[in-house]
Amino acid sequence: MNRIHDLDEVQFRQVHPDFVLKGLPSRKAFMPKKEHGWKLSMCRSASTSAKDFFHSYTKMGLKSFGVYGVTPRELAEEPNPIECFSSPSRRNPNHSHADFSGLSSKQIKLKADDMCEKAISRGRLHP
């Protein structure tokens, strides 16, 4: 598990259709879970495209409104900076994650909010 050094490499995130209304995703789509060690699952653009990520995800029978993205530089901004790490798995060799584990529950909500806004600003990447 290595820190992603290219701070401008977009990290992809799938957003479930029920987390989208009027084209706007909920911040809940960017909230990490305690059972995952407060790590939010993402996918590296360095090794796959938004289109391929979307198709491989939906091919597994999972629903997605689309792929959004943020960069490690955006996530490292104050307040509550966090880092991104490459964490390939058998199921997804392009897997990465954003690590929220150093934040309090309030800070996690604020950071997820901020992440959501940045993703919205970038726009849906696919489809």
Partner 1 sequence: MVMRMTNGQDDRSKGGGNAMADGRGKSLVLRFVGDRFADADLPVDMLSDLKVLGDLVVALAKREFLRRHPERREVPPGFDEAVSLVLGEVGKGSAMPKLNYRGDAARRMFPDFADELEEVVYSSFDRVAFIYDAASHDDIPEFLSTKEIKAMSGIGANMRKGEYMEFQDKKGRDGKVVRWSRERRDNFVELYQRERSRARERGARTIKFKGTGPLVGIDTMRNSIQIQTSEHGCIWLPLDGLSQKISRFDGNLSASINFSANIALKANGKFKSVEKVHSAEIDRTCSDGVLECIERLSELSKLEKGWLGEGDGESISPLAVSRAMHLIYTRSHLADLYLIYPTEEGGISIEFREMPWRYAAEMMPDGAIEIDSSSRDGEYFELRSFSDLSNDFFMAFDEMTARIGNEQNS
| Residue 6 engages partner 1 in binding (rule: CB under 8 A) | no
Q: Give 30 or 84: the residue with its C-beta nearer to partner 1.
A: 30
Indicate the burial class of 119 (C-beta count within 10 angstroms; 0-12, 13-18, 19 or more).
Answer: buried
- Considering only 42-50, 68-76, 83-91, 113-121, which stretch makes contact with partner 1 by CB under 8 A? 113-121
Q: What would the DSSP string read from start to end of 69-120?
A: EE-HHHHTSSSS--EEEE---SS-TTEEEEE-TTS-HHHHHHHHHHHHHHHH
Query: Minimum Å distance from CB 127 to partner 1?
Result: 18
Q: Is 113 one of the binding residues for partner 1 (CB under 8 A)?
A: yes
Binding-site ranges for partner 1 (CB under 8 A): 16, 18-19, 21-22, 24, 26-28, 33-34, 61-63, 78-79, 102-107, 109-110, 113-114, 117
